[in-house]
């Protein structure tokens, strides 16, 4: 458990998508290994997902059985971990995965999703970012508002744009904008269309499709 927390601390304090994107600049240094089986982003993503996986594996067995039982209606004695594990919804049952707290789990899923976006792996990016949003609801509530939610949601909107899901991206970006405005003004209502949002005359059709 201590080793896992040390790994998380190293990743969260030293690395990021922005930092990893600069690794190519140091490729000519004597201490670097020019030939790698995986690229830098793939290696970074694998490390992030390894931390997530190990955190789940460190769950107490009895706690895990109780959580699965609550989803399947079985007693702890009736739960078969191998057969029933797929029924388990970890995002609904645990605020802490023994070694990691919920906000750390949110960060890991968001960072892994963002890395997939940079790589162009949009399917995995959507799944990871949605998982981050699901976990974050245990921190900021089910209303899908708040600074952390908006940060993750913005990443998800970028993924949807890349996937050509412009309507989904537009609606997500509007919700982010309205929440940020209400946080500043103290108002819960905000118009969905303002002068700044309207494209110039003659560009109306193009503007609506390019958000």
The helix/strand/coil state of 61 is helix
Proportion of the chain above pLDDT 70, given as a percent: 63
Q: Is residue 159 part of a domain?
A: yes
Query: Are 182 and 190 spatial neighbours (Cβ–Cβ below 8 Å)?
Result: yes
**Cα→Cα distances 193→133, 175, 176, 198, Å:** 26, 12, 14, 7
CB atoms inside a 10 Å sphere around CB 188: 10
Does an H or E element contain 97, and which? strand 96-97
- 65 occurs within a structural domain: no
Q: Greater confidence, 191 or 88?
A: 88
Residue 27 pLDDT: 58
Please provide the average confidence, as pLDDT, over all residues in the chain: 74
* 48 within domain boundaries: yes
Domain range for 100 is 2-29+36-59+94-190
Residue 84 in any domain: the answer is: no
Residues with Cβ within 8 Å of 112's Cβ and at least 6 positions away in sequence, in order, are 45, 48, 49, 52, 128
Residue 195 placed within a domain: no
What pLDDT was estimated at residue 156?
96
Give pLDDT, residue 98: 61
- The verdict on residue 106 lying in a domain is yes
Residue carrying the six token digits 């399917």: 123
Taking only the tens place, the pLDDT of each residue in 57-99 is 666 667 667 777 777 778 877 877 666 655 555 544 554 556 7
For residues 177 and 180, what is the distance between their CA atoms, to the nearest angstrom? 5
In a domain, 44, yes or no: yes
The CATH number that applies at residue 150 is 1.25.40.10
Q: What is the pLDDT of residue 191?
A: 40
- Spatial CA neighbour of 139 closest among 176, 91, 187, 178: 91
* Domain total of the chain: 1
Q: Are 119 and 130 in contact (CB under 8 A)?
A: no
Greatest distance between any 2 Cα atoms in the chain: 68
**What is the rounded CA–CA span in Å between residue 108 and residue 129?**
10
Please report where in the chains the tokens 């995002």 appear, as a residue.
91
Which of residues 37 and 188 earns the better pLDDT score? Answer: 37
Q: Is residue 164 part of a domain?
A: yes
- Residue 20, both tokens: 């990893």
């Amino acid at each position: 458990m201590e080793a896992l927390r040390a790994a998380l601390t190293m990743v969260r304090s030293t690395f990021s998508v922005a930092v990893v994107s600069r690794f190519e600049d140091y490729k000519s240094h004597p201490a670097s290994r020019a030939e790698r089986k995986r690229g830098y982003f793939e290696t970074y993503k694998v490390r992030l997902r390894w931390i997530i996986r190990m955190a789940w594996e460190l769950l107490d067995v009895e706690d895990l059985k109780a959580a699965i039982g609550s989803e399947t209606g079985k007693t702890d004695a009736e739960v078969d971990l191998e057969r029933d594990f797929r029924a388990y919804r970890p995002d609904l049952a645990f605020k802490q995965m023994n070694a990691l707290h919920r906000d750390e789990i949110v960060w890991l899923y968001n960072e892994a999703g963002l890395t997939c976006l940079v790589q162009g792996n949009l399917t995995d990016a959507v799944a990871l970012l949605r998982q981050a949003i699901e976990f974050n609801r245990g921190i900021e509530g089910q209303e899908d508002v708040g600074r952390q939610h908006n940060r993750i949601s913005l990443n998800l909107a970028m993924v949807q744009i890349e996937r050509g899901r412009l309507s989904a991206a537009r609606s997500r970006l509007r919700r982010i904008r309205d929440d940020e405005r209400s946080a500043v003004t103290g108002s819960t209502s905000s118009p969905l269309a303002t002068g700044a949002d309207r494209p110039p005359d003659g560009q109306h059709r193009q503007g609506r499709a390019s958000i």
